[in-house]
Amino acid sequence: MQRKAMILGGMVCAALALSACDRNKQPQLLNVKSNQEGGPDEFAVLPNKPLTLPDTYAELPEPTRGGVNRTDVTPLEDAVVALGGNPNAGISDGGLVNYASRYGVSPNIRGALATEDLEFRRKNDGRLLERVFNVNVYFKAYRKQSLDQYAELERLRRLGVRTNSAPPEGAE
C-alpha cells in the first residue's frame, strides 16, 4: 500500500513538473483563448468597401509604403465619418497636449510602463494550481486598481456634477 502511494505521489510530482515546463516567459494574467464568446471584433467598426478587380493587372499602381490603395483612398476620413465626425473639421489638439504635458513628459514612458507592467504581472501571476490549470487571475490582480463605478457616481452627484443615468447596481 505504501509503495502504491509513493508511486502515485511521484507521478503527481512528475506531472506538475512537466506542466510547469510549458510556460511563457511573459506572465499572462488574462488567459484569453479566442473570440468564441461573441465578444467585440475591433475590425468590425471599419467601414470597409468591397474589393474590386481591375480589367487588367497592368492598371494596378506600383505598391508604395504609406501610399493609398484603390479600395480605400481616404481610410482615415472614412473612419471619422463612420464614427459620426466631420472629416473637414480641423484638428486642434495643441491646447490639450500642452495642458496634459504641463508637468513634464517622460520621453521613455512606453519602456518604463512596459518594465513596470512586466514586474507587476510577475508578482501577481497566480498560485501554482492557478497557473497549472490556466485560471484567469486578471481581475484579482488588478482589484486594488479598479474603480467602484457606483461609489464614484454617488461621489460626483454629491458634488453637484451632472452625470449620465446609470443602470442600478447589480443590474449587470
Residue 144 lies in a domain: yes
Residue 136 lies in a domain: yes
Asked whether 143 and 29 are in contact (CB, 8 A), the reply is no
Residue 134 lies in a domain: yes
Query: Could you say which DSSP state residue 62 is in?
Result: P
Q: Can you list the positions of beta strands (E) in 10-162?
A: none
Asked whether 165 and 153 are in contact (CB, 8 A), the reply is no
| pLDDT computed for residue 69 by the predictor | 75
Residue 43 lies in a domain: no
Asked whether 47 and 81 are in contact (CB, 8 A), the reply is yes
Q: Does residue 166 or residue 47 have the better pLDDT?
A: 166
What is the domain extent for residue 122? Answer: 110-166
* Number of independent structural domains in the chain: 1
> Which residues, 6+ apart, have CB-to-CB distance to 60 below 8 Å?
54, 70
**pTM assigned to the model:** 0.42
Read off the C-alpha cell for 77.
Answer: 476620413
Residue 3 lies in a domain: no
Residue 122 lies in a domain: yes
- Is the predicted pLDDT of residue 33 greater than 60, yes or no? no
